[in-house]
């Protein structure tokens, strides 16, 4: 008698990630490109409005365009962080001697599966404002118990 059990291929777990996005070199162009890439390669669930902000740290550079995105991914956190660095590279990011200097794109994981993982959320309005907007728009919230940076 043939076996009736089926061996379904397991579906990879989906993680939800809130990303902080910042750009000040051709910001509208690079913002649109980042949205296009993340929408086609991840599950883009929501995005905040882009806000213009003055630079923090190194002051002699153009204002930034900042936003937050909510995406879903089957990648684990370290692999997704590496993926975001690769997207930055594809968008022309060059890491110069000034850490807070101009950039075509900066993509940072702020929250992973509902937990804050970047202290930038607590320290910078240009991160917290867009993140809170994208969370409200998508009906999500964050566990913000500790302020420890768990990069």
pLDDT at 99 over 80: no
pTM: 0.83
**Looking at the annotation, which residues are catalytic?**
93, 103, 106, 108
User: What average pLDDT score do residues 3-23 get?
Assistant: 76
pLDDT at 151 over 80: no
Domains and CATH numbers, the chain: 26-138 (3.30.70.560)
Cα separation, 69 vs 63, in Å, equals 20
Residues 6+ apart with CB under 8 A from 13: 74
Residue 75, Cβ density class (10 Å: 0-12 exposed, 13-18 middle, ≥19 buried)? middle
Q: Report pLDDT for 13.
A: 72
Looking at 33-142, which runs of residues are DSSP E strands?
Answer: 43-47, 51-53, 64-73, 106-112, 115-116
């Amino acid at each position: 008698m043939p076996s009736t059990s089926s061996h379904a291929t397991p579906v990879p777990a989906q993680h939800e990630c809130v990303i902080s996005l910042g750009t000040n070199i051709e910001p509208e162009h690079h913002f649109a490109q980042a949205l296009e890439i993340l929408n086609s390669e991840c599950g883009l669930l929501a995005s905040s409005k882009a806000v213009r902000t003055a630079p923090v740290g190194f002051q002699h550079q153009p204002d930034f365009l900042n936003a937050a995105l909510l995406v879903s991914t089957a990648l684990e956190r370290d692999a997704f962080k590496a993926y975001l660095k690769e997207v930055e590279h594809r968008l022309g990011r060059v890491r110069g001697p000034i850490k807070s200097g101009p950039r075509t794109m900066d993509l940072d994981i702020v929250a992973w599966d509902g937990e804050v993982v970047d202290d930038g959320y607590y320290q910078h309005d240009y991160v917290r404002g867009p993140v809170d907007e994208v969370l409200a728009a998508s009906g999500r919230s964050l566990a913000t118990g500790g302020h420890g940076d768990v990069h």
